[in-house]
Amino acid sequence: MPLVEHLRELRNRLAKGVLAIMAVTIVALVYSEDLMKFMTKSVPKCPPNVTSDGGNCAIVSFNTLTAPFTVTIQVSLVAGLVISSPVWLYQLWAFVAPGLHKNEKKYTYAFVGAAVPLFSAGAYLAYLILPISVKVLLSLTPGGSANILSLGDVLDFTLRMVLVFGLAFELPLILVMLNLTGILTGRRMLGWWRGVIMGVFLFGAIITPTTDPVGMLALAGPITLLYFMAVGFSVLNDKRRARNNPDAELDDDEASELDLTPEAIGEIETVPGARALPEQAGAGSTGSGPKQLQSYDDVT
């Protein structure tokens, strides 16, 4: 198609995706109160007639006049983006897919098919760890002080934890894709195992705001397991690639091994003599011209 047709198709695809997000967002506005209760379920709220003192409980509040409106729109929009993701992701795929080759489509299907469950598993794990994280953070409140939390801050903290855990679970998938494209080998990834484990546990300690090792192990343990699974897959894929192409692991400036085994020389094939030049015609019989031996004269 010409460029104008591509731009028109992109506009139509974007319009369909935006309409799907708006439709789900409008429906989510009706259930916004239930969504906010679900996303703040990890906070131990104070029962009626119970005051917040130290880390026993917390009061979730709106700190500004416009906070109820902005938080409601934020929660509904996030729900619209997540729930309508199959629609706008399909529109994006339908626009890009015609320009991909068959093997590229195969890799894309495999990537999406593995990325969605991994992200969902990370998000679910974050939601399970959130109550522990919140309780540990609230326990640091000194006695005589009340915990009055902004609902917007609680929602931001929840979304940040879910996104971080979900994206962290995509690390092994990225390593596998780099191996399939030939950028990284399984042997090289295996050589990084000490640094990777140290980095994963350090990342888990920083990103999970708990003083106990439960949150760190809950994040670093599965990622470490997934990392070694990705390394095992890459090693097996490298062996398969080496069987099909022995020179697959060589760098561009590295020479391949040559087979220098001598081979037997077969019977010499006779070559017909070339037509003699005018000055060579008849010279072989008189001896005055160049002497020819097997179609080559002595000058040659």
User: Can you give 223-253 as a three-state secondary structure string?
Assistant: HHHHHHHHHHHHHHHHHHHHHHCCCCCCCCC
Q: What is the pLDDT of residue 23?
A: 94
Report d(CA 288, CA 216) in Å as an integer.
100
Q: Are 62 and 68 in contact (CB under 8 A)?
A: yes
Beta carbons within 8 Å of 140's beta carbon, 6+ residues apart: 55
Average pLDDT value over all residues in the chain: 80
Q: Are 215 and 204 in contact (CB under 8 A)?
A: yes
Report the percent of the chain where pLDDT is more than 70.
83
**Higher pLDDT among residues 25 and 100, named by residue:** 25
pTM to 2 decimals?
0.67
Q: What is the pLDDT of residue 247?
A: 64
Report d(CA 171, CA 115) in Å as an integer.
10
Report d(CA 292, CA 272) in Å as an integer.
13
Q: What is the pLDDT of residue 15?
A: 93
Kindly indicate the confidence band of residue 18, based on its pLDDT and cuts at 50, 70 and 90.
very high
Phi/psi of residue 104, nearest 5 degrees: -65, -40
Report d(CA 35, CA 24) in Å as an integer.
13
Phi/psi of residue 171, nearest 5 degrees: -60, -50
Q: What is the pLDDT of residue 238?
A: 84
pLDDT at 47 over 60: yes
Q: Which residue has the tokens 């300690």?
A: 205
